[in-house]
Amino acid sequence: MQRRSGPQNTSGSRKTRNRVIADVVRRASAATVEPLENRWMLNGIGFNFTGGSTGQGSSPRAMGTSDSAGPFDVGGASGPLFAGNSAYVQAFWNNNAGANGSQTSGVTDSTGATLATTVTWSSAGTWASVTNPPADGYETINSGFLNSGGTGTPVTITINNIPYSQYDVYVYELNDGSGRISTTTAYGVSYVGSSPDPHGSIPGPTGTQFYVDSDPTTPYAYVLASSRATGTNGTANADLVRFQMEGGTSFTVSEVAPGNGYVNAIQIVDTSGDTTKPDTVTAAGQNSTTAAIVTWQSSVAAGQAAAGGYSYIIMRGTATNTETPYTTLSASPGLTSFSDTGATPANTTFFYKVIAVSPDGTQSAAASNEVTAEIDANAPPGPVSGLTAVVDNPAAPTAIILN
C-alpha cells in the first residue's frame, strides 16, 4: 500500500489537480473506513510556515504547487474521521517564511484560484522539526515551524477574508523534540497535546505509522489532539488540532508551550455543505446569590460569528435525569454560560444538561454531562467592582481610603 506519490513533472492547475485526484483515488482504494462519496476534494486554503534554522543544520523548504498534503490517515490513528478520508488533501499551499509577517495578496486555494484572503502571523522565531530531508508534501509542511518561545510569546495567526460560510480549521504541530506540551486556543476553546518524536513512529490499527522519516512509501502519522484539560499533558503524540464548523470571515488562533512552542501550518477547509457534525459539550454548575449558573465548553469555537455558530438548549429538572427543555439560547459570540434567575426557591438544587444545535438546526447526538446549581442565599458575595484606593495625604500618608 502506497500512501504518497513521488515527484511528478507536471505544471499548470489542471495537471496539478489531476495529480491530486489520482493521489486521492489511490488512498481511497486502500482504505475501508470512509468512502469518497461526495466529500472528496473539498475546497481549502493552506498556509505552510517554512520555518527552519541554520543552527540546526536545516533550511526552510517550501511546498511546490504540485505537492499535496492534508490530514489523511490511512492507518486510522487519528480516528475514523481521518482514516481513509482524502477530502482534506489539497495542493497549492501558500508558503510563508519568517517569524513575523503577513501575506496580503496572491493567496491561492486548493484549485489554484487567487483569493482576497490574507494571513498575518507573529511568533518568537522559527525552527525546524527535523534535519533529515522531507520525502513529500506531508513531511514538508511538518518540517519547519513558528516557535512560541515559551508561554509569554504565543504563536498567533489571523486569517481574514475567508470566503466560506462554514469551515473547519486544522493546525499542524510537530516539534523537534518529544513530550513538549502545546496548548492551542481559538475563541476560548483550547486543545492540549504532547509532542511525539518527530523521527519516530506509532502503532496504528493496520500497521506502523511514521512522522518525518524521509520515506514516501510509509503512512504518515496524524494524531488529533482531543484533550481539553489545560494544565495536563493532554493527548499523547498529538500533531494536529481541529476546530470544527467555524463561521465568519476572520479566524484567529494562538499556541503556547513551555520553552518551545510550534505551529507548522494551518488549513481552512470549506465545509459549508456539511452542517450535521455533532458538537461535544462539557458543562459545569456554579451557585451564586442571584442565579444558578451553568457554564460549558464546546468542541466548536464559540467566539465566531453567529452565522456560523451554535445555539444551545438548556435542559432543567428538579431531580437527576429528569431534565426537559427549559430555554434556547441563540447563537452569539462567546456564548458559554447561562444564569438561571428563575431557579427558585433559593437553596433548591436544580439539575441541568446542555444540548448544542448546529447552524442547520441539527441537535448534537447527546446532551452534555449533568450538573447541579442553585441560588444559594448563603453563597459568598462576588468580587467587588469599581473600588478605588487613595492615600489621605500623599506627602505624609497615614491611611488608605477606599471608595
Q: What is the pLDDT of residue 132?
A: 87
Beta-sheet pairing, 44-49 with 265-270 = antiparallel
More confident of the two residues 83 and 172: 172
Coil, strand or helix: which one is 182? strand
Average of per-residue pLDDT across 76-96:
69
Tell me: pLDDT of 182 over 90.
yes
DSSP string, 245-309: EE-SS-EEEEEE-SS---B-EEEEEE-TT-------EEEEEE-BSS-EEEEEEESS-TTS-GGGS
- CATH for the stretch 281-373: 2.60.40.10
Q: Once rounded to an integer, what is the mean pLDDT over residues 134-156?
A: 88
The confidence score (pLDDT) of residue 361 equals 63
* CA–centroid distance for 375 within its chain: 36
- 386 C-beta neighbours (distance < 10 Å), count: 5
Average per-residue pLDDT in the chain? Answer: 78
Stronger pLDDT, 30 or 392, i.e. the higher one? 392
pTM (predicted TM-score): 0.66
Q: What is the pLDDT of residue 385?
A: 64
Read off the pLDDT band of 279 (50, 70, 90). low
Mean pLDDT of 171-180: 93
Q: What percent of the chain has pLDDT over 70?
A: 72
Average pLDDT over residues 318-337: 86
Span 95-122, pLDDT tens digits: 999 999 999 999 999 999 999 999 999 9
As a whole number, mean pLDDT of residues 23-27 equals: 43
Give the tens place of pLDDT for each residue, 250-277. Answer: 899 999 998 778 999 999 999 877 655 5
Tens digit of pLDDT for each residue in 223-240?
A: 888 888 888 999 999 999
Cell (9 digits) for 11: 505544471
pLDDT of residue 260: 79
| 157-169 tens-digit pLDDT | 999 999 997 788 9
Task: Please state the rounded mean pLDDT for residues 191-197.
Answer: 93
Q: How confident is the model at residue 25 (pLDDT cuts 50, 70, 90)?
A: very low
For residues 165 and 1, give the distance between their C-alpha atoms in angstroms, rounded to a whole number.
37
Give the 3-state secondary structure of residue 127. Answer: strand
Q: Is the pLDDT of residue 150 over 90?
A: no
Specify whether the CB–CB gap between 76 and 138 falls below 8 A. Answer: no
Peptide bond between residue 345 and the one before it cis (omega within 30 degrees of 0): yes
Cell of 260: 518551545
Element (DSSP H or E) covering residue 108: none
Average pLDDT over residues 299-312: 52
Highest mean pLDDT out of 14-28, 31-45, 51-65, 335-349: 335-349
| Residue spans per domain, the chain | 13-270, 281-373
Distance CA 252, CA 349 (A): 39
Q: In the chain, pLDDT over 90 holds for what percent of residues? A: 39
Check if the beta carbon of residue 251 is closer than 8 Å to that of residue 269: no
> How far is 352 from 339, CA to CA, in rounded Å?
12
Q: Are 184 and 190 in contact (CB under 8 A)?
A: yes
CA 285 to CA 401: how far, in whole Å?
A: 37
